[in-house]
Amino acid sequence: MVLATGTRVKGLPQAGLELNQTSVISSDEALLLEQAPKSLAVIGAGAVGCEFADIFNAFGTQVTLIEILPRILPLEDAEASAAIARSFKKRGIEPLAGAKVTGAKVTPKKVTLEIEVDGKARTLEVEQVLVGVGRALNLENLGLEAAGVKLTDRGFVQVDKNLKTTADGVYCIGDIAGPPMLAHKGSREGIFVAELIAGKQPHPIRYDNVPSVTYCHPEVASIGLTEDQCQERKLEYQVGKFPLTASGRARASNETEGFVKILRDKKYGEILGAHIVASHASEMIHELAVARENEYTVEEVELTVHAHPTLSEAVAEAALDSLGRVLHL
């Protein structure tokens, strides 16, 4: 048996924002709206929050993006987060980081939010609120305890390196097996378990090498460690960075917002992390995912001939920059 029940949307009851499918909605209802609201507050500025802020802004909605942590996209590299915040502000999206919703008055046609930002109180009235502060695990009424399936302290299903639970013959994949809570991670786990059950010896999943993507404009894609994490671990690292303003393809396409940033181990050239802000970052990140999976160094990435003109040339240039040898900047 394979448990793969996934997650569901949830509201923010502690702030008075229970989902009502009219004025307080989730990402589910947002996809079914027949018209865009004039004003929208998005609670939570992770990937989901930023993606929907971007979408509704494109439809002409006045969007306020509210994040309790010090910056939007808090799990991404700080430079990537700052780049998206600047881009959003340029387009009229108001990102409020370090902001807490302290109260809400909800009616079917509008919501009045009480917000605390940098210690100051503020009132915000909007037509709709979109709650994007995470998802609830679908674990109720499955009979897990009776079957001997244990949970972790964080409420996920406890699994070993082969995704086997604490009950004989029961495996678990996807969101309920633990982070990262991403569709492509769950899909890979499904393939892994299917091959294992079929008697094969599947390649172990490297959870530190699962790419993350935020599908806003420009896109944000990342893999491995952020610069803050490198510093926390006291790693000796070198930064290589290449702006898209110096990319011929980006200039020809008029999509020059963003950069490619590579963090390499100072001694051995190992790619510790990579962060891309670009119009097609979701496509570009996989070169670096393959490199990390096969333990290529930045030198080996740079030695690969990149077609010209392409956005992926920026990856090679960032690799070169980490070595102090950038060519086209």
* Phi/psi-derived region of residue 174, left when phi > 0, alpha when psi is between -120 and 50, beta in every other case: left
Q: Long-range contact list for 84-92, CB < 8 A, 24+ apart?
A: 84/50, 84/214, 84/216, 84/218, 84/220, 84/277, 87/217, 87/218, 87/257, 88/50, 88/53, 88/54, 88/57, 91/57, 92/57, 92/62, 92/63
Look at strands 94-97 and 212-214 and give their pairing.
unpaired
Q: What is the greatest pairwise CA distance in the chain?
A: 63
What's 327's DSSP letter?
A: S
Give yes or no: 308 in active site.
Answer: yes
Tell me the two tokens of residue 206.
């490297």
Instruction: Decide: residue 132, CB within 10 A, 0-12 exposed, 13-18 middle, 19+ buried.
Output: buried
Cα–Cα dist 55/156, whole Å: 31
Question: Which of 203, 217, 280, 308 is flagged as catalytic?
Answer: 308
What would the DSSP string read from start to end of 5-71? Answer: --EEE--BGGGTB---SSSEE-HHHHTT-SS--SEEEEE--SHHHHHHHHHHHHTT-EEEEEESSSS
What's 224's DSSP letter?
A: E
Q: Catalytic positions, please? A: 308
